[in-house]
Chain A
Amino acid sequence: MDASKATRYLESLLGQTLRVHTTDTRMFVGIFKCTDADRNIILASTYEYRFPPPSAVQEAASAADNQSSSFKMNMTSRLIGLVVVPGQHITRIEVEETAEQARFRQKLEK
């Protein structure tokens, strides 16, 4: 991928909803506004999602054990607005998109 192509690719993602996972296992879901060479990401109207703490997971698991092997838990979320996620703390980036948008993006990735 050359530089101009890379820029075009990142520009195609602007305005889309990204899910950015961080080293402390939180996930930030917001509208992609800006990034730079260090992969710092600015998201607008961001929600913070947090996995339930292990103790709560254990409790839920033991409560569910009797009926089945799998169980569901809700992640807690809250609106925190405009954030910048520093590149060094990012573990994973996902984009929320429809099948059509995905096809278009994959073209740009090549």
Chain B
Amino acid sequence: MLPNSEIRSTAMRVVTQSIVPHDITEHFTQAASKLVAGQLVKDEYFTLFEAVGALEIMDPKMDSGFIAPGEDLAEALQDSYDVTQELRPEQVVGIMDGLLCHEMAWHMGHPLSQTLFTSIYLDKLLWPIPKTMEQATFSRETDDKDNVLVQLVLRAYCLGLVKACDLVHGQVVSEYFYEEEDFVTQLYNRSLLSEFDVDAILKIINQALDWVDGPENSIDDPLTKALRVRLLFRRDFLTALEQNSKVLQTRSTKHLSSCISHISALEKSSPLGQAVPEAFSLKIQRKLASTVPPRPMVNISIENALSHLRRLCQDAIDIQQVLEYSCPYNVMISVWTLMSRKPQPSVYIRSLLQTIVFSDMRVLGSLSIKNFMYDDLAQLVLPHNILLQANMDNIELPSDPRFRIAQQMDDFVKRFSQPFLDTFRSICLNRCRFRRTLCHTAVDWDTLQMEAEELDTELRALTLEPPLKLHGGEPAYSYPLSSWAYHQKLTQLRTILQLGFELSIYAPEELPGMYWYLSHICSAHLAHIDRIRTFTLAASRGPAAVLTLPGGTKANASEREGAFHTSLRLLERLTTQLIAIDAFAIALHALYVLLARHGVLPRASSPNQAYSSERLRYELRMKPFLPISLPEPVPYAEYRGEADLEGDSDATVLERATRAIAEARKAWETILARGVFLVPSPTAAGTTHAPRSIEEDWKREVKDTMRACIGTSIAIESIKKALAARSSEGVPVRVEIPELGSKMRWHDWWAVPHIVPRS
């Protein structure tokens, strides 16, 4: 992944003096008339494909500057709405709420031209681009100080809003996102007051607040309150966003919390407002520098806007919990849990979290990449190991093996840090992109694993690692770095499958096969974790190390023990989690095999199979993984046999499902009981205050999975009864696979069939 730095800009066209226009109408027309129909004269690099994207001038659907014949030119360009007119307070409240709806619609991914830039007030405020704060008014000619409600109160609100948008825009474009999919960065050659300081705008908002609370204000109480809370919200929201732009230093959630506290007052007072639809106009699109056809205004309800806003503020508070660092495993859980919220946090939050995870060469604002990676390596594969302890500060003799280890490890960090960090950052993408990215990175990690393997071999010559005699009696080595890389890859492969369920990629007829494949990946992963454990246990029992650092080993014996303890507990956690997923997948696989066998599984493809076959579908699903050498791709014939449970009777398959689901339930219960985070060392157990809302989300997710387990048990029982009652007309059931988001779909990752008896 690369950072997003491309910001569109539209410079003015420059024409030099020596260039003169010459009329060529006649010659051009004559020459063109000589062309035969269908002949094109074109630039050799210009393709027809590009031409399709050209806007057709004078076509009302394409040409945003088109003015219908008969339409008055002045009217068409300039709205007759007078921004200097006096407004009643309820109208001001109405306009403010209208603007807030547009602001949130923009946050949701709609372009400014269809949202905020339809406001005539904002158009006057921002065009021509104001050079001083004094110029940033609705009307630069008339200076009507008496019209306080508009010229001070509404203006302060608008300034606060535009600057807030500027900060959001700046944050989003600084990280990875997908243009138009997540967010539209286009500013149409306008500026969102980016030249001005937040303080200057806060000053004006405070002036407006002083007036609202002052003696000159004669507006009745409920409306005064409505105006006040809107200004207060603007002040807090702007301050909060500014603090977020320095989140790693400020780490404050005070203003975000007070934004949330204003929301119910905003909600209650919004019926007092009176909408002013004339203050918003699509005609402004005729003046915006835009390469897209004219598009309609986006209108969302105030309830919708406020609920988006509330979520935004809450997410912004919660993501700061990631900053409480204990170990990379916990960071991963936190990032994952936050980004799995439904609906997914908005693009601003996802961008902010990327900044928190990594910016200015620091992870979570405090750790170096090397430390962060070393923590992860130490926990998974190298507890208290010389590979991570050697550094060139202690040993300066280039011939010393420890010096050479340090050198090799530095190279390793250089090569692996970016892909490793991306495993965290890519979670912040939208879900579809996240899955697509994983399909690519899994292949990259396959290469990385091979590179790590070479490095392992070289390092082994330096550490003089004694081999273990495993089952076959062949000497085996630990290969710590490549083991770590393989673990990352297996995690990604599993996530790709699980996100496939979450994104409803698979057709119902594919479900038996995909759940089989999920369990296949899980068992490969389990075997891998077992291998790591074997070597960790051997290392913990063996001598401290062949190589040691100056400073002795006795003092840190307890430290060593602690490191091994943490590492083994992490492996235990990973094992339980994989067993839980594996068992659940086996159960669903068996259940779906039965449904498919008896022809009651719904199908998405047509029954005559003209263009789809199981083989083609399998090829399609496996395509991204073909370049991967480990785990080896499963040939179709083998897959077919395994996925269909060929040769197993219905009774055997039922038995398999029942046993597996019981095991899955037990494993998920263990996971829930163990809690969300790994507590790195036993001594720290009491002191860490676990991030609460992340923990709650995580618990909810595990409980949903357990609910899905129970649903599966019920489905297994139903099919068992139905099979017993089978007649010549087949199995008397109807099967539905609950859609995502429906009540019966307890968890996105587990498509549990709903089996209804048919009489």
- A: residues with CB less than 8 A from B are 1-3, 6-7, 9-11, 13-15, 19, 22-24, 26, 28-29, 32-39, 42, 44, 47-48, 50, 53-56, 76-87, 89, 91-99, 102, 105, 109
Contact = CB atoms under 8 A, between A and B. Distances in A.
Given A3-B34, A6-B35, A14 B25 contact: no
A80 B32 contact: no
Contacts of A11: 41
Interface string B42-64: 11001000110111111100001
Interface string B560-573: 00000000000000
A34 B42 contact: yes
B54 A84 contact: yes
20 contacts: A23-B58, A28-B57, A34-B43, A35-B40, A36-B40, A39-B32, A47-B13, A53-B73, A55-B74, A76-B287, A79-B289, A79-B291, A81-B55, A86-B56, A87-B32, A89-B58, A94-B22, A94-B25, A96-B20, A97-B22
A11 to B, nearest CB: 6
Contact of B24 (A2, A91, A94, A98): A94
A97 B21 CA distance: 6
At the interface, is chain B mostly helix, strand, loop or mixed?
A: loop
Given A14-B41, A37-B36, A94-B21, 7 more contacts: A7-B39, A26-B65, A34-B40, A42-B46, A80-B291, A83-B55, A95-B24
Contact of B31 (A6, A32, A42, A82): A6
B610 interface: no
Given A6-B30, A36-B35, A94-B21, A42 B51 contact: yes
B488 interface: no
Contacts of B73: 53-54
A89 B39 CA distance: 20
B330 interface: no
Nearest to B57: A85
B225 to A, nearest CB: 42
Interface of B: 10, 13, 15, 18-25, 27-43, 46, 50-51, 53-59, 64-67, 73-74, 77-78, 189, 287-291
A102 B58 contact: no
**Closest CB pairs A-B (n = 9):** A81-B291, A6-B34, A53-B74, A34-B42, A6-B31, A94-B21, A37-B35, A78-B289, A79-B289
B50 A82 contact: yes
B287 A14 contact: no
Nearest to B37: A37
B428 to A, nearest CB: 31
A83 B58 CA distance: 10
Contact of B22 (A7, A9, A102): A102
A44 B66 CA distance: 19
Contact of B23 (A6, A50, A94): A94
Contacts of B56: 83-84, 86
A51 B51 CA distance: 28
A55 B28 CA distance: 34
A96 B21 contact: yes
B384 to A, nearest CB: 60
Contacts of A55: 74
Contacts of A14: 41-43
Nearest to A55: B74
Which interface residue of A15, A86, A94, A102 has the most chain B CB atoms within 10 A?
Answer: A94
A77 B32 CA distance: 28
B189 A79 contact: yes
B32 to A, nearest CB: 4
B13 A80 contact: no
Contacts of A35: 32, 35, 40-42
Contacts of A94: 21-25
B57 A86 contact: yes
A37 B39 contact: yes
B6 to A, nearest CB: 16
Given A11-B41, A29-B13, A24 B30 contact: no
Given A42-B51, A55-B74, A84 B13 contact: no
Nearest to B41: A10
A5 to B, nearest CB: 8
B41 A98 contact: no
Contacts of B288: 78
A108 to B, nearest CB: 9
B65 A50 contact: yes
Q: Of A11, A55, A80, which is in contact with the most chain B CB atoms at under 10 Å from its CB?
A: A80
B529 to A, nearest CB: 54
B51 A84 contact: yes
B289 A56 contact: no
B185 to A, nearest CB: 15
Contacts of A9: 27, 31
A48 to B, nearest CB: 5
B31 A53 contact: no
Interface centre among B35, B54, B64, by most A CB within 10 Å?
Answer: B54
- Which of B19, B27, B40, B50 gathers most chain A CB within 10 Å? B27
